[in-house]
Structure 1
């Protein structure tokens, strides 16, 4: 099972801030054909970024952004349109998973945002961390959320954080099926605070996880922090996933 590959630009945020064009060009040279971007782009204006992405032939299928609600609504929707983004992806804080009531309030906002995004032809996706898998009154917070959000809301499953949260990433992506079209791929010791490593050099079993994700459409490499040089890890992650037949690039 080989899926298209992308890089989440949060991975190289520090490098972008020091040299945006140099960093993004290097990512293209490695072979990544697509990027998942963030709402704030270090080292460049939105117009500069859009121009360079086009020149380098990058697709931008997804972006991490705030929910398109209130005073963020127009800005987020315009941002998605500018980069031809198909999926707006967001995450929530640990505080929003402290109780059933806080999860209900979160899901109410998610459903409001989903209706707005869908009206513009956009998909709304949720990106997990580890705290969604803590028990809330004898249930996992993630399972409560899954019950309460609109069935059209999808999940960008961060497989590493699932594992860090004590759950089986392969079992979760299998259970979600087509509701998990985006997978975040990172590696390391699967502990909350330890630095990450290039994909293929940690404890994650992607030969089990990726084939279990029958609804996955895109693998997105993301390293929040790294024990080695970040750009080297970005390249090594690409080489591993493509070399193992799990992903394909340019």
Structure 2
């Protein structure tokens, strides 16, 4: 299993419930949250058998994906064509921070995928998140990156890990400073697992951030902090609904702005395709969740 650091470097930079609680009976008139899969989940398989992996994923009934980085032997053009051939819609793309030097390349990739959402994946931790001054400096960079993205027809967002919800700077948590300093059109893709790892109730965070959150990384598992995380060695994760996260409360806390629930397993405790299948089946029980 490749670590996140190795993957980025290589790339070039119980299921059923016995009763149905009220959480599952959300009115069908509410905004639908659609399901996608972050392809980082299948990084090892994509490295070994690119098209075979996409075929297996499509066979699970998955229709939407979020891209990360591809094996170095696979170009963006090849990947985009393969995704289209297997019937996938690209919801968003994880990428590096937009700069004047790379923005055209990022825009071309987004166009090939057919998405306008560009998300800074956020790995590894930037040490500037250890101070208020550094955090504000990063917020300024993100605001500049968002303007570059907008100038190229893209929308820019941020994906979190645990440190944004664990590091205190200037009497506040990093995510609070970012929420205050960032331009309103920069969206969050909130990874609820890492929020839980940092010691928070994800539902409370989603309610606090309100419309800033437009996508969620939905994953499950033990969700406890340990020093191995710093080395990118997370605990094995479980199918959604079988770990420590209160998924019903998370989904109930989603605002109408949350369009996508993106399933991700950094490391799977069981066969990864079975974990994706069970996660999809679990999420299908919520009336506010659409698999299309």
TM-score, reference length from structure 1: 0.94
CA distance in 1: counterparts of 2:98 and 2:148, whole angstroms: 7
The aligned length equals 250
2:63 to 33, 48, 54: 33
1:107 paired residue number: 139
Aligned to 1:35, the other structure's residue is in SS state strand
Question: Relative to structure 2, which stretch is displaced further, 8-17 or 48-57?
Answer: 48-57
Aligned to 1:225, the other structure's residue is in SS state coil
C-alpha deviation, 1:213, in angstroms: 0.8
Q: 1:124 touches 1:154 (CA, 8 Å); kept in 2?
A: yes
1:136 paired residue number: 169
1:4 paired residue number: 34
1:70 to 93, 100, 111: 100
Deviations 1:53-84 (A, max 9, x none): 11222110200001110322221111111111
Q: 1:20 touches 1:42 (CA, 8 Å); kept in 2?
A: no
1:241 paired residue number: 283
1:210 paired residue number: 251
Specify whether residues 216 and 191 from structure 1 end up closer, same or farther in structure 2 by C-alpha distance, changes over 3 A only: same
CA distance in 1: counterparts of 2:267 and 2:186, whole angstroms: 28
Aligned to 1:181, the other structure's residue is in SS state strand
Aligned to 1:243, the other structure's residue is in SS state coil
1:154 paired residue number: 187
2:88 paired residue number: 58
TM-score, reference length from structure 2: 0.81
Match status 1:97 vs 2:138: no
Q: 2:103 touches 2:149 (CA, 8 Å); kept in 1?
A: no
Q: 1:9 touches 1:38 (CA, 8 Å); kept in 2?
A: yes
C-alpha deviation, 1:47, in angstroms: 2.0
Deviations 1:18-38 (A, max 9, x none): 111111111111111111001
Unaligned runs of 5+ in 1: none
Deviations 1:1-29 (A, max 9, x none): 55210000000000111111111111111
Match status 1:194 vs 2:227: no
Question: Relative to structure 2, which stretch is displaced further, 89-98 or 4-13?
Answer: 89-98
CA distance in 2: counterparts of 1:236 and 1:212, whole angstroms: 22
Q: 1:154 touches 1:180 (CA, 8 Å); kept in 2?
A: yes
CA distance in 2: counterparts of 1:178 and 1:28, whole angstroms: 31
CA distance in 1: counterparts of 2:98 and 2:286, whole angstroms: 38
2:152 to 84, 100, 120: 120
Specify whether residues 42 and 165 from structure 1 end up closer, same or farther in structure 2 by C-alpha distance, changes over 3 A only: farther
